[in-house]
Amino acid sequence: MEPRPIYAYGLFFMHENGLVDQEVIFEYYDPDKYYAGLLRRPVALSRELKMLGENMQYYLDQEEVYINDERVYPRVVDVNIGVKEKGRYAYIVFNIEFIGKLRKGINNYVNIYEEERAEYEYIVYWFLPVNARVVKAEVGVPYEILPNGRGLWFRVKPGTLVGGREEIVFDLKE
């Protein structure tokens, strides 16, 4: 049985200089321990990591991402695989980066991508710079602003139609 995705996390960390560090973590049910086996075979593991990175980059290249109306280009900078529960569960971690120009006052992040139905549940967190506060967002599902105001989170359930356009508007103070 092939590994089956069961959950994902998207963690976005925006810095005051406009750099966004994005960590995307996919969890898999892997009863045949495919990924555990790869971890014992360095050459095969290296090939798999390269292929995973290229596949993720392909999907990122299909998206249009903007910071303050200027197009930015997310890039996969690292991929890792790990296992837990004696290899029956695996996870893949993608480190992705992009950078845009922020300004004092109102800023926005926009991501345009193809609509699709979520196959599994996932959660997304956005953390803005210390001196920023979320003004509003449109992410296609209900969201909550973090108590300190400098971020937000949302959960997507399986079967939810996602995609199209997401936007986060935030105020960056001096």
- pLDDT of the chain, 174 residues: tens digit per residue: 899 999 999 999 999 999 999 999 999 999 999 999 999 999 999 999 999 999 999 999 999 999 999 999 999 999 999 999 999 999 999 999 999 999 999 999 999 999 999 999 999 999 999 999 999 999 999 999 999 999 999 999 999 999 889 999 999 997
d(CA 110, CA 69): 8
Contact 12, 154 (CB under 8 A): no
- Please, which residues have CB within 8 angstroms of residue 18's CB and are 6 or more apart in sequence? 67, 99, 100, 101, 102
CATH code given to domain 4-172: 2.60.40
Distance CA 21, CA 34 (A): 29
Q: Which amino acid is at 132?
A: A
Going from N- to C-terminal start, the domains of the chain cover 4-172
Asked whether the beta carbons of 98 and 20 are under 8 A apart, the reply is yes
CA angle 98–103–107, rounded 5-degree value: 75
> Nearest-CA neighbor of 163 among 142, 144, 140, 143?
140
